[in-house]
Structure 1
């Protein structure tokens, strides 16, 4: 299984390469690239850094129970998939909470602008219906706004799910279809999350599938005011991210 929450990138990258940084210290990036006949290189791999987490400590004595929430830095790793060579492009991380630093690092390193995204699931469903007769659905989730604050969400699973019903407000789709002579089985959600469960699809195949099949349906999430706060770097963050991206100017570029 491969999965990622996607971010949409804009602007022409200064250099679209995502390089490794393996020097025994955090942050660390182990990146691989796969170049295809059309000249595109998709990158994938693992990245790790120290992430600030908050725990709850409890102390009990004869008079009271007291609690505190100390913060600590804990090493955490994420998988990533990316191609910022086009405008738009994408960066995907397997955990946003553990991988936001990596999204900012790639933005600083390559010079692209990163935005949170939503996926037009209705359009994706229509695309796979038109592209192949093998398209099927095992999960169709709808959300319909009836006005006046009234909204209805429905989910159909397995035999009750129908690829033809994936229209007019689809927010989640569990799908199956043939792509590039390979069987793909996965889920896609309006929130920007995608996953693929196909056993034969390797990391580079998943990254290519996202670029070719999902990227055309990514849109900037204009309704989320927090998105710009989360993905826009302050000047201090830019400075620190640039230093992390260049790693102090190692001779080998890692």
Structure 2
């Protein structure tokens, strides 16, 4: 999944970047409103971590930018402005959660999981598509109660397709959520195709039905059977 961190304090920004990487996110970083606005307009994110006191203005304004893009992005405000009035305003402006600074990374992780479950309408901590069950916290995938072994990248591909079930995901969107937009398009698209082939080979080797449908010329989708 892909996240945008908007934070002008270098040490916290790096800590959030490292923490999200450990949680399986591909992360973009912005230090001010201008950078963040450009990224929100040009990219699609699953998660936004937003500081409010930015060098060039109030981070709350970015919630308007996000709303204008009509993106399905879960948002958590991380701010030293922790008064009740500030928290209420942030939630009323469209943020899914508000975590005052300083905060624990463990609490942040729990809140991230909670807002993503709400945003993607996940009632439990797994996604089920037909006979396939993908657990979101443990990197575990079961097919008809049989455990399947996948690489980290293969798991991230399956998880992203499952979270967007019944939607066609383009190869470009899939590659950007796995590797970011800083790699060569041809390189990343070839890697997507290669990993999809490996995933299908693993299902086929166990005589399991391939859950991934190819939308020719566009990308892939998982359909809820």
TM-score bucket of the superposed structures, by smaller chain: under 0.3
Q: Which has the higher contact order (CA 8 A, sep 6+)?
A: 1
TM-score, normalised to structure 2, is 0.25
Q: Which has the larger radius of gyration?
A: 1
* Greater share of residues in helix: 2
Higher strand share: 1
